[in-house]
């Protein structure tokens, strides 16, 4: 789907767990180490002017947004962590600014089952699977290069 929209998504092999599990289970040092490892893995792409770091797992994306605050006192990583937080986007944020009608997708949220007249979610929901992600990369975050 992203390819058809002209979006190039690249995986960074050295990136791993966002650090949320360790951090939220009181293993703060391990969580912060996970964050630093990811920043080091993504930094070459960030320096190459990526448009965004896209998270396909919303919980991880929420943690990436916190990198800047959590590493603010680390003088080696504070500015880099802040930049990661600024670049982080949920896959939904990327898709909402695209014309999905070119894909034959109904982008009228009000017409979708599971939404009430006020735009609120009813008890039913829906899930959109994004093709092109392998099982190994499905829950990883990926730097998104700028479009030409």
Sequence length of the chain is: 148
The CA distance from 103 to 119, in Å, is 23
Which residues are CB-contacts of 1 (< 8 A; sequence separation ≥ 6)?
103, 130, 131, 132
Mean pLDDT lowest among 1-15, 85-99, 134-148: 134-148
Q: Give 111 or 20, the one with higher predicted confidence.
A: 20
pLDDT tens-digit map of 50-87: 888 988 788 899 999 999 999 999 999 999 999 999 99
Q: What is each CA distance from 32 to 62, 77, 123, 128, in whole angstroms?
A: 15, 10, 37, 31
Task: State pTM to two decimals.
Answer: 0.69
> Is the separation of the CB atoms in 105 and 95 below 8 Å?
no
Q: Give 71 or 136, the one with higher predicted confidence.
A: 71
pLDDT band at 130 (very low <50, low <70, confident <90, very high): very low
Instruction: Give the pLDDT score at 121.
Output: 42
């Amino acid at each position: 789907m992203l390819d058809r929209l002209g979006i190039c998504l690249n995986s960074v092999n050295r990136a791993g767990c966002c650090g949320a599990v360790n951090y939220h289970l009181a293993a703060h040092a391990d969580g912060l180490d996970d964050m630093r490892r990811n920043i080091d893995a993504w930094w070459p792409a960030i320096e190459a002017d990526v448009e965004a770091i896209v998270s396909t797992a919303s919980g991880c994306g929420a943690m990436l947004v916190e990198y800047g605050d959590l590493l603010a006192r680390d003088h080696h990583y504070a500015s880099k962590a802040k930049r990661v937080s600024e670049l982080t986007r949920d896959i939904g944020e990327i898709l909402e600014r695209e014309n999905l009608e070119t894909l034959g997708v109904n982008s009228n949220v009000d017409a979708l089952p599971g939404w009430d007249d006020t735009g609120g979610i009813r008890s039913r929901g829906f899930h959109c699977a994004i093709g092109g992600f392998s099982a190994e990369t499905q829950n990883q975050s990926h730097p998104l290069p700028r479009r030409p």
